[in-house]
Amino acid sequence: MSDATEDAATEELVCEGRRERLGDLLAFVDRACARAALDPDVAFDVRLATEEAVTNVIEHGYAGGPAPGPIALRFHHDARQVVVTIDDLAPPFDPTAIRPADPSAPLEQRRIGGLGWHFVTRVMDDVRHEHRHPRGNRLTLVKRLGATD
Amino acid sequence: MDIVVEQRAPTTVVRITGSVDGLTADTLMTTLQQQIDAGNTRLIADLSGVTYTSSAGLRALLATVKQARSAGGDFRLAGVLPPVHKVLEMSGFTTILKLYPDVDGAVASYPA
Amino acid sequence: MSTPTRPRKRVALVIGAGSVKCAAALGLWKVLKREGIAVDMVVGCSGGSLYAALMALGFDAEGSEALTHSLWNRDVTKRRDYASMLGAFLPKLFRFRGHFGMVHGEPLLNALRRGFGDRTFADTVLPLYVVATELVSGQQATLSSGRILDAVRASIAIPYIWSPWEVNGKLMLDGCLSAPLPVDVAIKEGADVILAMGFESPYPRRIRSATSYAFHVNSIYTNNLFRANYSFHNLAHHADILPIVPDFGEPVNLFDTHKFAHVIACGAQAAEEHVPYLRQLLAEPASPGTPSAATPATSR
């Protein structure tokens, strides 16, 4: 089911959006960061944002449906920036607009709506969400290189 | 992620190495929970070998600290590396958890 | 190892930022004394640090009230610090010091000297934690050693009004910049039941001076931070946080020192509402499986 391809500076992994594939998705990001020879701090931020974002798709995007759909994770790297793109076929869902769902729920039981999403926006320089036609979402995470933070 | 549990009276030191993330958080939480259930509520996590954590890892830490405190103990962190510290700080966790530079300091922080 | 048992729940009193409104803590203090409910630690921020320190030093409510009147009056803010302002607005001519305050710090310092002298944290009868904010790093700082005067002066260093204060070699600003209601300190220090007396700052109807503008802006972000932090602390705590938010029925502003009696009465009233539940909480065992029922010790 997974299919990794590689060209000059863009790599892609497509897999099922279920918890069991989180390991593959994270391993893919780790390898891509290593190949790009990213500074460890930058690699940390990229991995963190990617983990939180794909977890979001798995646990929210596909949670309501009968079966999980695919996730396409793309890693692009050039001299100026790292761009991680996450495509899914889940119902329209804008994590940039979500609020903590249930403020009375214990924090450790709440999902990315709170903490995880906070991390994504804190560690990346630019975060964009768009609806794709005819369905699905695209999330674009940008980390600029050489920026102070 | 690897976990080694060591009793250092009056505390229990849980040495964790690797990544505490969505893949490993459940295992960590189970291990820590077992210690609390066994009455070892004065817990210390030696995080000097932990290079990465995400919100999933923090959920495990928070669930543990709340259980340990409810049972009359505490859960303190030792040897937190800078990237992990950054995550703890971003989430406000440094204000509610006690952190020590090393395990010896954390052990000494508990009354004998 | 056997399960550690605790004789009773540890009670923390946290007094948040709120200038004159913080005197409401004295009303709460009176109620706790009357009920014989012991407090194991006090935490204070900004104006709240003043009352936290007095309680920790063993002053009773009446003594604190009397002292409040002599500490807190218009003399404390009357004198403008023109040198500091010139330095801020004409930095080349008058050398900017890296920070400034519009109000001269000397009268404030004299008032604090009357209250605290050279007493240190070691002189307290209850553990005391005073929250300030490091100017350079922006980090919350929890002060628990050294001179109480220094800690309180740092904790009430309202931005733009009073200059920051140096403690342990670091310049410190008002604690309300990082933790207007520092419940987190009580959580970290092992409190079970947390009595959290917090205040939202009223907004003035008219802004007629640079100082009232500065106060207004401070109030906006303090109020917002107060709400955001409080929800996080609630989620993070393993036991009960009792929010004690007095209803003053009217705006209480920074220099409404003639309202002290009213403020204290409102604090007592807010506390009364929590007494039955607090009693119930303290009567429960401290931890699951710990049979020892709580017998609240007599408060000091």
Percentage of chain B beyond pLDDT 90 is 94
Do the chains contact at A47 and B62, CB–CB below 8 Å?
A: no
For the entire predicted model, the pTM comes to 0.80
Model pLDDT, residue C291: 35
Against chain A, the chains showing at least 3 CB pairs within 8 Å are B, C
Give the separation between CA A9 and CA C76, rounded to whole angstroms: 64
Domain assignment of residue B53, given as a range: 2-108
pLDDT per position as a tens digit, B41-60: 999 999 999 999 999 999 99
Chain A residues whose CB is inside 8 A of the C231 CB are 103
CB B16 within 8 A of CB B28: yes
**Comparing C-alpha atoms, which of B88, B37, B64, B74 is closest to residue C191?**
B74
Of C140, C188, C287, the CB nearest to B71: C287
Taking the CA atoms of residue B58, residue B62, residue B63 and residue B69 in that order, the dihedral angle to the nearest 10 degrees is: 160
Residue entry with tokens 């921020």:
C45
Q: Is A11 helix (H, G, I), strand (E, B) or coil?
A: strand
Of the segments B84-98, C121-135, C223-237, which one has the largest average pLDDT value? C121-135
Q: Is B21 helix (H, G, I), strand (E, B) or coil?
A: coil
On the question of pLDDT at A68 being above 80, the answer is yes
Which residues does residue B3 pair with via DSSP β-bridges, in sequence order? B16
Model pLDDT, residue A3: 45
pLDDT per position as a tens digit, C203-261: 777 788 887 788 888 888 888 888 888 878 888 888 889 999 999 988 887 777 788 89
For residue C216, give the amino acid letter: H
On the question of pLDDT at A2 being above 50, the answer is no
Model pLDDT, residue C123: 97
Choose the weakest-confidence range: A127-136, C16-25, C27-36, C83-92: C83-92
- Would you tell me which residues 57-96 of chain A have a C-beta closer than 8 angstroms to some C-beta of chain B? none
* Mean predicted confidence (pLDDT) in C167-182: 95
**Comparing C-alpha atoms, which of C243, C259, C255 is closest to residue C194?**
C243
Task: Please provide residue B2's backbone torsions phi and psi, each rounded to the nearest 5 degrees.
Answer: -120, 145
Chain A residues whose CB is inside 8 A of the C232 CB are 107
CATH number for the domain harbouring residue B17: 3.30.750.24
On the question of pLDDT at A82 being above 60, the answer is yes
Percentage of chain C beyond pLDDT 90 is 51
Question: Number of folded domains in chain B?
Answer: 1
Domains present along chain A, CATH in parentheses: 3-144 (3.30.565.10)
Within chain A, where are the H helices? 22-35, 40-56, 115-123
* Mean predicted confidence (pLDDT) in C283-297: 50
* Mean predicted confidence (pLDDT) in A131-148: 87
On the question of pLDDT at C111 being above 50, the answer is yes
Give the separation between CA B67 and CA B93, rounded to whole angstroms: 16
CB B28 within 8 A of CB B3: yes
Model pLDDT, residue B21: 95
Model pLDDT, residue C39: 97
Q: Specify the pairing of strand C165-167 against strand C170-174.
A: antiparallel
Model pLDDT, residue C160: 85
Give the separation between CA A53 and CA A51, rounded to whole angstroms: 6
On the question of pLDDT at B12 being above 90, the answer is yes
Interface test with B, best of A25, A115, A117, A121 (most B CBs within 10 A): A115
Q: Which residue has the higher pLDDT, C67 or B100?
A: B100
Do the chains contact at A107 and C236, CB–CB below 8 Å?
A: yes
Look up the ipTM and state it: 0.89
* Mean predicted confidence (pLDDT) in A18-41: 95
On the question of pLDDT at C86 being above 80, the answer is no
H or E element at residue A142? strand A137-144
Of C184, C190, C239, the CB nearest to B74: C190
Model pLDDT, residue C89: 66
Chain C residues whose CB is inside 8 A of the A107 CB are 232, 235-236
* Mean predicted confidence (pLDDT) in A88-95: 81
**Comparing C-alpha atoms, which of C292, C244, C287 is closest to residue C267?**
C244
**Comparing C-alpha atoms, which of B98, B52, B47 is closest to residue B75?**
B98
Q: What residue in A sits closest to B81 (Cα-Cα)?
A: A41
On the question of pLDDT at C288 being above 80, the answer is no
Model pLDDT, residue C87: 63
Model pLDDT, residue C69: 79
